[in-house]
Structure formats: C-alpha cells, structure tokens
Amino acid sequence: MTTSTSRRNFFKNTGAVSAAAMLGGVGAGLTACGGDSSSTPEDPLLALTATQVVANIKNGTLKAEIYMTAMIARAKAASGLNAMIFLNEAEALKAAKAIDADKAAGKTLGALAGLPIVVKDNINTKDMKTTGGTPSLRNHQPTTNAPSLQKLIDAGAIVLGKSNLHEWAFGITSTNFTLGTDQSGAAARPCKNPYDNSRIPGGSSGGNGVAIAARFAPAGLGTDTGGSTRVPASFCGIAGFRPSVGDGVGKGRRYPDTATDALPISTTRDTVGPMARTVADIALLDAVITGGAVPTAKALKGLKVGIPAAFWAGLDDSVKPVADAAKKKLADAGVVFVDADLTGIMALNDSMSFPIALHEPVAAIPAYLTANNAPVTTVAQVQAGLASPDVAGAFGAIAGDVFADPYAAAMVPLTGGRAQLQKLYKDYFAAQGVECVLFPTTILAAPRIDAANGSKNLSYTVGGVEQKDKDTFGTCIRNTDPCTNAGIPSLSIPAGLTAGGLPVGMQIDGPLGSDTNLLAIGMGMEAQWGSVKAPAV
C-alpha cells in the first residue's frame, strides 16, 4: 500500500467529518509560537498527535494499518536523518492489522491501541536487539521488555523500531560513530536535526527527538540521566519528560524500571521518560505507565512560578527573545512570577555531577551485562569496542574509577552534596510558595554537528559578546542537570523558534512527587505558547 493510497483511504474513512473536526482536541486551533502560521498546513495524517491517533482508531475514523503504513513510509523517506537503528516494519504492520481486527470484532481496545512509538536503543526489548549504539552489543538480545515499555505495549502501543542515540547514551550530540565511518575516520551517519540537517538533535535520546519531530511516530520512550529526553526535545521542537527518581534506590521513584532494564550510567540518576510532540501526549503515556489518570490542563491564572536567575543567566542572543516572549505570554495569562534565585545551585551541582555519573557505572555496567546475559561482561570489554572518541574519554574515567572519593563525599546522608541539593530545592519550593520553576531548557539552540570528534567546543553570543571555546556537553546540560541530581520531575515544552528557525524549549521543574501536577501545568503552558511549526523534512 503506498503512502498516497493510505492518505486517500484515511480521508475516505473519515466520511463526512471535516479535517478540522477530525483534528479537534489536543493541539487543535493552536497557532505556532515563533513559527509561520501563514505557511502551508501540515499533512493532516502526519500532524496527528498521539492522543488524536488513538481516539481516531477507537472511533473507527482511522485504520491502525493505514496510519502505521504512513509512518513506515515517512521513516524510510527520511532515512538520511539517521534517526533509526532498526525499523520494525513487518512486525509493526502485523500488530497494526491485529488492532484493526480487534476493532472490527468489537473488542475493547487499550488506551494506546495502534499507536506507533519509537524506543531508544538502550531500553530492553525482547523482540529486537538492544545495542546501545555500541559495537560490543551489536548482537545483544534481552529476554524481557523494560517494565515501562511493557506497560505501553500492553495498552496497545506498537514499537515502530529502535532509535539512534549517542553511543551508550554517554553524550549530548547523538553523533554516533558505530553506524559507519568513512576513510577519514569521520562519522558517516550522525543523527541530524530535522530543522537544520547540519545541526545536532541533542542527546542522548537524539533519535527519538528526530523521529518524533520529523513525524515518523507521534511519541516514544527515551532515557534521561542529565538531560537526555529534554535536550533533544528542546533542540527538535517537541516535549520531553523526566519523572521523579527520588533517592535513586526506589524511594520516590515514579517508574518501575531498574538498572538492569536499560543500559545504565547512573543508578541514582537514570530513568526512562516519554517524549512526544505535546505535553498532553506525554501525560497519556505517563498515565499508562503509572496506572493513574490523565490530568487536565491547569488554569494558569494565579499560578505561582519561580524564576531562578541562575538558569536565566547567559542565554544565547537567539534564545533569549523566544524565552522572554514565552514568559510574557504566561504573564498575560495570569501567571504570577516569583523572582527568587536558587542561590549557589550551579556550583553545588557541579561538585557532584561527574562523580555520580562516572563512578556509579563502575558497578552498574557489569551488573546490567551479567543480568541480561550480554555478549560482554566487563567495562573493559565495552571500552575496547567503543567507536566514538568522546565516549572513549568518559569510559577512561570509569575504567580508572577516578571519582570514587568525591562520589562518597557527595552521597553522605544529610550532609553530602546531593542531600544539600535536595534540601535546597525542597526549601525553595516551600519558602517561595511556587508550584514549579521556569527557565529555558538549553541556553542555546542546536549547535552544528562535529563529524570528526562527536562533540567539540563551541561558541555562542550573549549580549553581543562572543562566548568562545565552550564545552558542548556542559553548555547543553547546564539547565537540565541540577534537577537530575536532586531526583525531582522535569518537563521540557516547545515554546517557539529562533529568528533562524531553530526550536527553543522551556523547562519546568517541580517538587519531588509532583509529576502529575507538573504535567497539568505543562499542558496549560503549551496552550498559551501554541504549536511549533513542523520541520520541512
């Protein structure tokens, strides 16, 4: 079945329902914030959100097979973006046909029936290899799905395929050298931002960011250790969620996955997280994973939101006007901003971030490999097969366990750096009476791809002054990293495009365990900001 035939059948199946009515619901009627609202409308079939897809399949106006066929065709047509490591074409179509058969038989459909999702290739899948984008795991086949993924599948979601990522999720660019190199040794297939193919999509869940933004699928499941769902969300114009992780060993953890359900970095910080084009779609996936109800958008009038200066300082000149405009729209809607800083937060976070992220893999990686009967069992074996220069540098620190002592100091109960950071956040939310804090997810728009090194230093402009030779990784995660060490929930929401047409995300963080409320706030904010114009893929 061709894509054009799929679209004709789709519109035929909608009967007398107009495209505007069919697309009603979440996201309908919103204008693009920072985009060109006068441009040619997006193909309605590709524009469907996850919420709209499942609603239309359930009410019979859309066949799951027709929609899946369109998604597969889209993924193949845009394969040059290198978003996917494996496309699950045959099995995805088979599953979609089964959904249609259940519908025809009058069976009750699950909450996500027929929904194509992309899954980051470091999350365990029992029917597909889980490679982590690294050579030593090319043939790694887990025997079970990660628990959060299984809940999505049980609700009727269909895995379209495994998405590309920064090798072993150890980076922020998703320039992965495992996918092939040319004779010069430069990466032949870096993951590319659909808004500008010369730029990174962010990482490490970059393949998800690209696939969702480029309309291969309306939603997906990624992982986040220091910003890996939210940085790609910001750079690719979609939404990305990091749920509460709490103390890192179970208390306060929102999702059921453990360190053996996805390739680990930090047992304290790692979590899976949904990614989608709207916050409402993330709330839908979150409700399926947690067994809760999908929240409604929160009224913004009178909502108190903190504006910590540390997260607003040093914004690139292209990002600042978009962030300021987004803030003004919220003020116009009645949000009450509290200008109170999280004093000392950046220095406190920096004191523990690398010690936690580069010491915990020493034990976590062998534990995962052994538990999952992987082809290799040690850090040294993984390190020997690494293809990406920047990841090799990180694994050198892991193999040498150079952060053991500062890690121990950071994790001392009550007085260690992590306990201090958690107290700083807790006291801030209580003292200021705010339900969340707001700031740009990343301080700059997507940087250009470094096809030689995977990640290099970059420059950007603040107040007309060039900031030279800045570390790409540290710059991109500056605003996303602190909440990960505190274990609190965080959400990136698309807020607009720069003058050059690159997406900008705004992040909200809330108190530990406030995930549902944070999603409700995000839904209210996205209604004010509007949808971001789709990339011209």
Given 163, 205, 228, 492, the catalytic residue: 228
Q: How many CA atoms lie within 13 A of 484 on its CB side?
A: 31
Q: Are 172 and 203 in contact (CB under 8 A)?
A: yes
Q: How far is CA 436 from the centre of its chain?
A: 19
Instruction: Report phi then psi at 229, rounded to 5.
Output: -95, -30
Provide the token pair at 282. Answer: 């993330």
Pairwise CA distance, residues 270 & 132, whole Å: 14
Q: How far apart are the first and last CA of the chain?
A: 22
Q: Among the options 148, 174, 204, 455, which is catalytic?
A: 204
Q: What is the DSSP string of 36-100?
A: -TTSPPPPHHHH--HHHHHHHHHHTSS-HHHHHHHHHHHHHHTGGG--EEEE-HHHHHHHHHHHH
Residue of 120, 151, 162, 320 with catalytic role: 120
204 preceded by cis ω (within 30°)? yes
* Cα angle value 499/471/419 (rounded, 5°): 105
Range of the domain at 389: 114-529
Amino acid at 482: P
- Cα separation values, 512 from 219, 357, 426, 485, 489, Å: 25, 20, 8, 12, 6
| Residue 408 forms part of a structural domain | yes
Q: Crossing angle, helix 50-59 and helix 89-104, to 10 degrees?
A: 40
Q: In this structure, what CATH number is given to the domain that contains residue 488?
A: 3.90.1300.10
CB within 8 Å of 278: residues ≥ 6 apart = 26, 27, 49, 50, 51, 239, 526, 531
Say what the pTM is. 0.92
CB within 8 Å of 405: residues ≥ 6 apart: none
- In whole angstroms, give the CA distance from residue 424 to residue 401: 29
Does a structural domain hold residue 201?
yes
234 classed as catalytic: no
pLDDT at position 497 is 98
- 3 state DSSP class of 338: strand
What is the phi/psi pair of residue 527, to 5°?
A: -65, -30
Q: How many residues does the chain have?
A: 537
Reply yes or no on whether 228 is catalytic.
Answer: yes
Asked if the structure places residue 7 within a domain, the reply is no
What pLDDT shows up at residue 34?
Answer: 33
Pairwise CA distance, residues 293 & 171, whole Å: 34
How far does CA 310 lie from the centroid of its chain? 23
What tokens appear for 362 in the block?
Answer: 């020493």
Q: In tens digits, what is the pLDDT along the chain, a chain of 537 residues?
A: 444 444 444 334 433 222 332 333 323 322 223 333 334 568 899 999 999 999 999 999 999 999 999 999 999 999 999 999 999 999 999 999 999 999 999 999 999 999 999 999 999 999 999 999 999 999 999 999 999 999 999 999 999 999 999 999 999 999 998 864 343 444 447 899 999 999 999 999 999 999 999 999 999 999 999 999 999 999 999 999 999 998 766 689 999 999 999 999 999 999 999 999 999 999 999 999 999 999 999 999 999 999 999 999 999 999 999 999 999 999 999 999 999 999 999 999 999 999 999 999 999 999 999 999 999 999 999 999 999 989 999 999 999 999 999 999 999 999 999 999 999 999 999 999 999 999 999 999 999 999 888 888 999 999 999 999 999 999 999 999 999 999 999 999 999 999 999 999 999 999 999 999 999 999 999 999 999 999 998
401 burial level (CB within 10 Å; 0-12, 13-18, 19+): middle
b or e along 359-378 (b: 16 or more beta carbons within 10 Å of the residue's beta carbon)? bbbbebbbbbbeebebebee
E-strand stretches of 433-476? 436-440, 458-462, 465-470
Hunting for tokens 């700059």 — which residue is that? 444
**What's the Cα-to-Cα distance from 183 to each of 186, 187, 188, 233, 449, rounded to whole Å?**
8, 10, 9, 33, 18
Q: Is 333 among the domain residues? A: yes
The amino acid sitting at 312 is W
Looking at the domain assignment, is residue 18 inside a domain? no
- Tell me what pLDDT residue 1 has: 40
* 495: three-class secondary structure by DSSP: strand
* Residues facing 35 on adjacent strands: none
Rg for the chain, CA atoms, rounded: 22
Element containing residue 421 per DSSP (H, E)? helix 417-432
Total domain count, the chain: 1
Q: How far apart are alpha carbons 270 and 256 in whole angstroms?
A: 12
Residue 146 lies in a domain: yes
Question: Does residue 373 sit within a domain?
Answer: yes
Question: What's the one-letter identity of residue 65?
Answer: E
Inter-residue contact 447 to 202 (CB < 8 Å): no
* pLDDT given at position 349: 98
Judge whether 77 lies within some domain.
Answer: no
Strands (E), 68-188: 84-87, 116-120, 158-163
